[in-house]
Structure 1
């Protein structure tokens, strides 16, 4: 199975990279760009056939290793290959 993690800064957390991207886009004429959040996309391939176990593994991975829950929000999806 494949677990896809989508991680981004929480609302209200300073995101200097997102700010730089937003300013660059506006300088290129994309005047309607209001804000940009730059995050992480992570793919984890696991040798697991039970979807519920994969979901629990994903939650555990996020909490223990992949996400700083103080400053980041995340979502994940489990995809059968």
Structure 2
């Protein structure tokens, strides 16, 4: 009697990407938080600081078949949730993570 073992199929590794997303108000949009920070800095003696703009920084990882697919997903994420395209601009940096 012989025992036969069946190995599970090898799974192809799906690339993982790290994204850094920067969301900022459009230049035409007033930034009261930035104005308050600039004023606070001036009161602390930092009168050499020019206009201050406040934004958001987001980090996430995702799986995608290619860097182009990851970039397209990030564009949709930013347009639909992470940024308000009416008043905010965004940009992101994408980096491939090592697969194990």
TM-score normalised over the length of structure 2: 0.75
1:62 aligned to 67, 75, 78, which one? 78
The residue aligned with 1:24 is 40
CA RMSD after TM alignment? 1.1
TM-fit CA distance, 1:12: 2.2
- Matching residue of 2:53: 37
For structure 2, which runs of at least 5 residues remain unmatched after alignment? 1-16
Pairwise CA distance, 1:68: 0.7
Higher relative contact order (CA 8 A, sep 6+): 1
- Inter-partner Cα distance in structure 2 for 1:48 and 1:2: 11
Quote the residue 2:69 is aligned against. 53
* TM superposition shift of 1:49: 4.9
Partner of 1:12: 28
Q: Any stretches of 5+ residues in structure 1 without a counterpart?
A: none
Partner in structure 1 of residue 18 of structure 2: 2
Structure in which a larger fraction of residues adopt helix: 1
**How far apart, in 2, do the equivalents of 1:12 and 1:32 lie?**
23
For 2:49 and 2:65, locate their aligned partners in 1 and report how far apart those are by CA, in whole Å: 42
